[in-house]
């Protein structure tokens, strides 16, 4: 049937049904193929004219189908040939397996027949093993008999410290023991695979002294090594012998390990106690010998000055031992020992542990300083590890610091707290001495410039500067911490100092006539001078402090300058109170008829003021000028307050002229007393003495209608003047009508200017007494 026959493309229904039942996927694939064919045909033959090429398409598809069938047939044929060849191979293998199985059955039968013969040979094997063991025992009898004598002789050599000879005998004994064990092990044969416990116990009993000899020799070796630093200058021979023995042991350990590691199959076991690793023990004993110098140090022996002496002794001892190692012991050991590096490492570790122990003690400030100075400066100085030939070695070892960064910070904090406790106690004592000085019945001391002072600022300044200078010997960080601490304590001291001033003033006010308060003002002035000295010291300390560390020690940095300013203000206030107390008896005499006629008590006021200003000259600038300025303000305020009392109301133009003239004369006397203040550049922007001539002009003015202009100028110069003040001035004139008064007050209300920046009010401090209203009803007795 040809491939192009249409009947070839159609399967019989029963065949298709049978195939679909066996492989359901075939039916689905056939449906998809038919659908794809219909889709293709509908696309190709979409028009009638396209049917002309139907024969061409049919021929092409027939050829393609025939080609596919041919390839399928050839592929199936090749698969069938391979399956046939495989079946032939399987048939040959089955025949060979039958032959092998029959041969194995015959071998099993023969083996079962020889079992009885093998059992008869086991007795012969046991006799052979026993014979070999007896042969080994007989051959080693001379050695076994001489073991005890060799052990005793080796013990005598060890006791006499003939270490090399003792080690040679010990090596012979160990070699005999190893040979005997090996012979017994080999005699046991493959079946034995190991010695029995009884055999091991027997050999161990004969060589029981060898293990004790090893321990005794090791003990002597480590005694020689541990005393090498002390005895090397006298006789280094024992140390050299010890090193040679250590190297022999290391070679033996290495050889035995290589032999056991490289042997295959039936290898010899390691002898008892191997490997010994005596080289590692050598360096461990050396480190223990170094640390032994620190173990004998106790807490009591190193307290106080003893700690500095102990650290100095450590320095000399370490450098002496290091010189011994470098110049003597280094030449007694192989180069790969690097004995100098080992000693440096051991001493560094021991020092690290020892200083950690010392730091944990309850040390005082001097002891902490000695530790910090030794760790940070002495240890790394050219006198110790800073030597050029040691610096390179220390850099290679990378040992790290003697005390960790955290440990140093804790030690520095402990030092600061210890010093702070001492500083606080000394400041308290200095303040108590200061308070006692205030009660002395003599004038305070003066310096070469004539300024009052006491011992307080000298003690405080010297103490803080000394602490900062000592801390700088350790480092800038500790210096900054010390300055910070000093500023805190300074602030606390000044706060207590201010409280003491307040109490001093209260005590004086309770009974100002006491004899012991005779120099009250003098000591107040001395306190102000002391504060100025302390301020200079504080500024100097703040300038020494590193800017980047000025605020890193606390969230709230100290502010002693503010405390100083508060103390100075309080002292100045007390001084002004004392001046006011001295002026108080004279003030009621101002603005009276007697004052207007005779001028009293102005000269007495000037005398009191002059006396106080003379005392102010014993105060250091700038507080001296500040006191003079405050005295000037106080005098003017009290003078104007006396005027505002309205004790004197002019009855006519002549009295107004006299009043104004007396005010001008008083102002001139005041200026003569205060003439030095104006030439020192410390006069305030508003000179209070300039107020008196202005008031005099206001009172002297002849035409009341010009008062409006006069008040306008007065308000421009002194914007804090109030209506009450102006009303009192108008009342004192005694000639102001109601209309003029109203016009003046209206102008003052309209032109009230704000206070300029930097202006110091003067009228604000002057209160106007309330006016007494006239009682309008007639007085009569109650019915």
pLDDT digit string, tens, across residues 59-85: 888 888 888 889 888 898 888 888 889
Beta carbons of 16 and 78 less than 8 angstroms apart? no
Nearest to 505 by CA among 524, 519, 527, 532: 524
**Residue-level pLDDT at 397:** 77
Rounded to whole angstroms, how far apart are CA atoms 663 and 732? 13
Mean pLDDT rounded to a whole number for the chain: 82
Query: What is the pLDDT confidence band of residue 167, given thresholds at 50, 70 and 90?
Result: confident
Beta carbons of 698 and 646 less than 8 angstroms apart? no
In our burial notation (b when 16+ CB lie closer than 10 A, e otherwise), range 363-389 reads bbbbbbbbbbbbbbebbeeeebbeeee
The CB density around residue 76, as the number of other CB atoms within 10 Å, is: 10
List of residues 6+ apart from 620 with CB closer than 8 A: 451, 528, 529, 532, 533
**Residue-level pLDDT at 772:** 57
**Residue-level pLDDT at 5:** 44
Rounded to whole angstroms, how far apart are CA atoms 220 and 228? 12
Residue range 349-375, pLDDT digits in tens: 888 888 888 888 888 888 899 999 999
Rounded to whole angstroms, how far apart are CA atoms 514 and 508? 8
Within a 13 Å sphere around the CA of 568, how many CA atoms are in the beta-carbon half? 22
Nearest to 180 by CA among 148, 137, 147, 213: 137
**Residue-level pLDDT at 774:** 44
**Residue-level pLDDT at 777:** 44
**Residue-level pLDDT at 568:** 94
Of 209-218, 627-636, 696-705, minimum mean pLDDT range = 209-218
Q: Is the pLDDT of residue 274 over 60?
A: yes
**Residue-level pLDDT at 462:** 94
The encoded tokens of residue 631 equal 């005295």
Nearest to 206 by CA among 179, 186, 187: 179
Query: What is the pLDDT confidence band of residue 682, given thresholds at 50, 70 and 90?
Result: very low
List of residues 6+ apart from 202 with CB closer than 8 A: none
Range 558-573 average pLDDT: 93
**Residue-level pLDDT at 432:** 94
Beta carbons of 549 and 477 less than 8 angstroms apart? yes
The encoded tokens of residue 232 equal 């090397």
**Contacts from 582-587 at CB under 8 Å and sequence distance 24+?**
582/608, 582/612, 583/608, 583/609, 583/634, 583/635, 583/638, 587/638, 587/642
Rounded to whole angstroms, how far apart are CA atoms 599 and 594? 7
Rounded to whole angstroms, how far apart are CA atoms 33 and 589? 138
Beta carbons of 363 and 414 less than 8 angstroms apart? yes
Q: What's the CA angle centered on 571, arms 565 and 575, to 5 degrees?
A: 140
Rounded to the nearest angstrom, the gap between the alpha carbon of residue 520 and the centroid of all alpha carbons in its chain is: 50
**Residue-level pLDDT at 22:** 61
Query: What is the pLDDT confidence band of residue 301, given thresholds at 50, 70 and 90?
Result: low
Categorise residue 615: left if φ over 0, alpha if ψ from -120 to 50, beta otherwise: alpha
Rounded to whole angstroms, how far apart are CA atoms 721 and 730? 13
Within a 13 Å sphere around the CA of 327, how many CA atoms are in the beta-carbon half? 7
Rounded to whole angstroms, how far apart are CA atoms 532 and 561? 10
Per the model's pLDDT, the better-predicted residue between 642 and 147 turns out to be 642
Range 262-274 average pLDDT: 61
Rounded to whole angstroms, how far apart are CA atoms 486 and 494? 12
The encoded tokens of residue 657 equal 């002229």
Q: What's the CA angle centered on 58, arms 55 and 60, to 5 degrees?
A: 110
Rounded to whole angstroms, how far apart are CA atoms 190 and 193? 5
The encoded tokens of residue 745 equal 């007050």
Per the model's pLDDT, the better-predicted residue between 539 and 396 turns out to be 539
Nearest to 641 by CA among 497, 771, 767: 767
Beta carbons of 187 and 128 less than 8 angstroms apart? no
Query: What is the pLDDT confidence band of residue 291, given thresholds at 50, 70 and 90?
Result: confident
Handedness of CA 610, 615, 617, 620 (dihedral sign): negative
Nearest to 274 by CA among 259, 262, 285: 259
Residue range 190-199, pLDDT digits in tens: 444 455 566 5
The encoded tokens of residue 626 equal 């500040």
Residue range 609-620, pLDDT digits in tens: 999 999 999 999
> Could you tell me the pTM of the whole model?
0.68
Residue range 25-64, pLDDT digits in tens: 778 888 888 888 888 888 777 777 777 777 888 888 888 8
Beta carbons of 411 and 372 less than 8 angstroms apart? yes
Look up residue 514 and give its DSSP letter. -
Residue range 529-544, pLDDT digits in tens: 999 999 999 999 988 8
Q: Is the pLDDT of residue 255 over 90?
A: no
**Residue-level pLDDT at 144:** 59
Segment holding 375, helix H or strand E:
none
**Residue-level pLDDT at 513:** 66
Residue found under tokens 């090893």: 214
Of 254-263, 403-412, 570-579, 621-630, minimum mean pLDDT range = 254-263
**Residue-level pLDDT at 728:** 92
Range 203-216 average pLDDT: 71
């Amino acid at each position: 049937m040809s491939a192009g026959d249409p009947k070839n493309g159609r399967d019989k229904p029963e065949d298709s049904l049978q195939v679909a039942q066996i492989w359901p996927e075939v039916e689905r694939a056939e449906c998809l193929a038919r659908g794809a064919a219909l889709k293709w045909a509908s696309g190709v033959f979409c028009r009638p004219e396209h049917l002309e090429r139907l024969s061409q398409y049919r021929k092409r598809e027939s050829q393609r189908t025939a080609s596919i069938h041919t390839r399928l047939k050839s592929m199936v044929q090749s698969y069938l040939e391979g399956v046939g060849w495989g079946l032939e191979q399987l048939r040959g293998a089955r025949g060979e397996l039958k032959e092998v199985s029959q041969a194995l059955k015959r071998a099993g039968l023969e083996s079962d027949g020889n079992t009885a013969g093998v059992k008869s040979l086991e007795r012969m094997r046991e006799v052979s093993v026993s014979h070999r063991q007896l042969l080994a025992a007989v051959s080693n009898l001379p050695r076994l008999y001489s073991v005890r004598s060799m052990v005793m002789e080796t013990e005598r050599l060890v006791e006499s410290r003939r270490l090399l000879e003792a080690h040679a005998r010990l090596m012979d004994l160990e070699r005999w023991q190893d040979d005997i064990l090996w012979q017994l092990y080999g005699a046991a044969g493959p079946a034995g695979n190991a010695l029995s416990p009884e055999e091991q116990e027997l050999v161990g009993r004969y060589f029981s002294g060898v293990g004790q000899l090893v321990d005794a020799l090791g003990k002597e070796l480590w005694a020689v090594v541990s005393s090498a630093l002390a005895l090397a200058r006298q006789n280094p021979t024992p140390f050299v012998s010890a090193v040679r023995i250590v190297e022999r042991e290391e070679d033996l350990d290495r050889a035995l390990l290589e032999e056991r590691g490289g042997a295959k199959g039936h290898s010899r076991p390691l002898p008892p106690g191997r490997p010994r690793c005596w080289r590692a023990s050598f360096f461990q004993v050396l480190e223990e010998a170094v640390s032994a110098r620190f173990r004998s140090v106790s807490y009591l022996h190193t307290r106080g000055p003893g700690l500095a002496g102990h650290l100095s002794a450590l320095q000399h001892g370490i450098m002496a031992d290091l010189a011994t190692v470098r110049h003597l012991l280094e030449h007694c050991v192989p180069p790969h020992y690097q004995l100098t590096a080992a000693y440096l490492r051991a001493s560094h570790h021991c020092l690290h542990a020892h200083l950690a122990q010392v730091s944990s003690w309850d040390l005082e400030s001097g002891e902490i300083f000695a530790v910090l100075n030794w760790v940070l400066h002495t240890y790394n100085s050219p006198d110790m590890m800073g030597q050029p030939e040691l610096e390179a070695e220390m850099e290679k070892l990378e040992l790290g610091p003697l005390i960790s960064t955290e440990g140093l910070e804790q030690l520095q904090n402990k030092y600061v707290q210890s010093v702070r406790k001492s500083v606080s106690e000394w400041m308290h004592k200095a303040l108590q001495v200061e308070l006692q000085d205030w009660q002395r019945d003599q004038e305070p001391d003066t310096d070469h410039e004539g300024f009052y002072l006491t011992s307080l600022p000298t003690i405080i300044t010297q103490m803080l500067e000394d602490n900062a200078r000592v801390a700088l010997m350790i480092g800038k960080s500790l210096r900054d911490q010390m300055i910070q601490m000093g500023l805190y304590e300074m602030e606390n001291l000044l706060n207590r100092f201010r409280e003491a001033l307040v109490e001093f003033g209260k005590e004086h006010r309770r009974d100002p006539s006491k004899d012991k308060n005779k120099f009250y003002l003098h000591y107040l002035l001395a306190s102000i001078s002391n504060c100025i000295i302390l301020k200079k010291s504080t500024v100097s300390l703040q300038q020494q402090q590193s800017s980047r560390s000025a605020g890193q020690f606390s969230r709230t940095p100290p502010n002693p300058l503010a405390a100083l300013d508060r103390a100075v203000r309080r002292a100045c206030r007390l001084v002004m109170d004392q001046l006011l107390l001295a002026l108080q008896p004279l003030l009621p005499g101002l603005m009276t008829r007697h004052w207007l006629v005779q001028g009293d008590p102005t000269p007495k006021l000037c005398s009191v003021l002059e006396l106080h200003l003379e005392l102010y000259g014993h105060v250091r600038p700038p507080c001296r000028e500040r006191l003079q300025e405050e005295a000037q303000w106080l005098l003017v305020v009290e003078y104007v307050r006396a005027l505002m009392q309205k004790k004197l109301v002019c009855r006519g133009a002549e009295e107004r002229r006299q009043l104004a003239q007396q005010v001008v004369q008083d102002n001139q006397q005041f200026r003569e007393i205060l003439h030095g203040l104006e030439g020192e550049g410390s006069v305030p922007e508003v000179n209070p003495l300039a107020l008196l001539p202005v008031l005099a002009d206001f009172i002297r003015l002849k035409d009341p209608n010009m008062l409006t202009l006069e008040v306008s100028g007065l308000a421009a110069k002194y914007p804090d003047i109030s209506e009450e003040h102006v009303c009192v001035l108008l009342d004192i004139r005694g000639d102001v009508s109601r209309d003029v008064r109203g016009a003046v007050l209206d102008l003052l209300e309209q032109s009230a200017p704000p206070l300029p920046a930097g202006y110091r009010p003067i009228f604000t401090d002057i209160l106007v007494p309330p006016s007494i209203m006239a009682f309008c009803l007639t007085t009569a007795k109650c019915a």
